[in-house]
């Protein structure tokens, strides 16, 4: 399908794009968070607030902060990112205040990440378990950087450059992964989970959507039952729903997953390759 970007928005990887004419006659890109991605952010934010209300523990508050930081890192290249998150903040702020009335405080607890990224903002602080929740509206447009040609997840030198460029952006997410290892998995696999998260830039291997810290799975490309290992090159990080689709064998449930997950041809090919390696038929 061909879309006239001068008249209509085009959706791409969680963004919606449109060409806007300036006074000089030139066109520039206007980019925003897509409607679907926006609704998903609101839903996930509200769900996490409910988890905090029901179980006000440090790891649940840290999880919310890692979600916010992940959204900001991914969508900050949208030209209207500040306006989008300001509107999202307006829609969810009432839920945050009402649901956490008895457990929140107005004290500001600045950790290193907060000081570095959100210290310049003057939002009213909301803290739970002595952890200040990152401000949803605390993000501004940032011109995307071009990755060095030498970067590659498949070589030691290439991964070094990826990690060097992205470690600071994902510092909070990395800390969460370090402090919440997969208890039933090997040390090698847990270490590679952190490296993969940075190398994949916090995105799902298949859908290229933002990975949720507690809603993602690390998969062995070649299963251990078939001789696979926990080495870096045999692992990928995917969203749980996609991981379930890879393993699913019942046609009815496969169709349900396909209806709920938006997959382009490239993503579907990746799923089928992974399904083939676990011994399942193509879909």
Least Cα distance to 140 among 86, 76, 90 occurs for 76
143: which residues sit within 8 A by CB, 6+ positions away?
A: 77
Q: State residue 12's pLDDT score.
A: 78
Mean pLDDT of 124-147: 86
Which residue has better confidence, 243 or 111? Answer: 243
Q: How do residues 171-180 score in pLDDT, each as one tens digit?
A: 778 878 888 8
Give the pLDDT of residue 280.
93
Rounded to whole angstroms, the Cα distance separating 256 from 76 reads: 32
Residue 42's pLDDT is 94
Percent of the chain with pLDDT over 70: 89
| Residue 160's pLDDT band (cuts 50, 70, 90) | very low
How much is the pLDDT for 171?
72
Residue with tokens 């969203």: 239
What pLDDT, on a 0 to 100 scale, did the predictor assign at position 86?
94
Q: What is the mean pLDDT of residues 94-120?
A: 89
Burial 117-146 (b: 16+ CB within 10 A, else e): bbeeeeeebbbbbebbbbbbbbbeeeeeee
Query: Is pLDDT above 70 for 283?
Result: yes
At 73 the pLDDT is: 86
* Cα 137–Cα 56–Cα 100 angle in degrees, nearest 5: 55
pLDDT, tens only, 14-52: 888 888 887 777 877 788 999 989 999 999 999 999 999
170: Cβ–Cβ under 8 A, 6 or more apart, which residues? 73, 197, 198, 202
What confidence tens digit (pLDDT) does each residue in 73-85 have?
889 988 999 999 9
User: How crowded is residue 278: how many other Cβ atoms within 10 Å of its Cβ?
Assistant: 17
Instruction: Tell me the average pLDDT of the chain.
Output: 85
Which residue has 């934010």 as its token pair?
45
At residue 158, the pLDDT reads: 58
- Pick the closest to residue 202 from 58, 114, 76 (CA basis): 76
Percent of the chain with pLDDT over 90: 42
128 pLDDT more than 90: yes
Per-residue pLDDT, 7: 73
Q: How far apart are CA 169 and CA 166, in angstroms?
A: 5
pLDDT band of 145, cuts 50, 70, 90? low
Residue 28 or 204, more confident: 204
Q: Look at 143 and 92; give whichever has higher pLDDT.
A: 92
Does pTM top 0.85 for this prediction?
no
User: What's the pLDDT band for 103 if we cut at 50, 70, 90?
Assistant: very high
Other CB atoms within a 10 A radius of the CB of residue 244 amount to 15
Other beta carbons within 10 Å of 262: 11
């Amino acid at each position: 399908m061909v879309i006239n970007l001068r008249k209509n928005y085009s959706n791409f990887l969680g963004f919606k794009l449109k060409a806007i004419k300036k006074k000089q006659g030139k066109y520039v890109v206007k980019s925003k968070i897509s409607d679907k991605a926006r609704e998903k952010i609101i839903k996930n934010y509200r769900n996490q607030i409910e988890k905090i209300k029901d179980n006000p523990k440090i790891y649940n508050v840290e999880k919310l902060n890692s979600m916010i930081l992940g959204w900001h890192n991914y969508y900050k290249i949208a030209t209207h990112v500040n306006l989008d998150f300001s509107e999202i903040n307006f829609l969810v702020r009432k839920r945050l205040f009402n649901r956490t009335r008895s457990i929140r405080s107005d004290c500001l607890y600045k950790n290193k990440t907060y000081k570095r990224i959100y210290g310049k903002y003057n939002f009213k602080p909301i803290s739970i378990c002595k952890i200040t929740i990152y401000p949803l509206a605390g993000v501004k447009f940032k011109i995307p950087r071009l990755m060095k040609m030498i970067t590659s997840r498949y070589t030691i030198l290439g991964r070094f450059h990826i990690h060097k460029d992205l470690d600071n952006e994902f510092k909070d997410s990395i800390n969460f992964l370090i402090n919440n290892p997969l208890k039933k998995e090997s040390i090698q696999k847990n270490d590679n989970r952190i490296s993969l998260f940075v190398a994949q830039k916090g995105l799902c291997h298949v859908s290229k959507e933002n990975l949720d810290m507690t809603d993602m799975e690390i998969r062995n490309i070649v299963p251990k039952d078939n001789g696979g290992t926990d080495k870096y090159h045999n692992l990928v990080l995917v969203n749980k729903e996609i991981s379930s689709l890879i393993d699913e064998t019942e046609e009815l449930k496969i169709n349900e997953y396909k209806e709920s997950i938006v997959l382009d041809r490239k993503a579907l090919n990746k799923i089928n390759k992974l399904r083939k390696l676990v011994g399942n038929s193509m879909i």
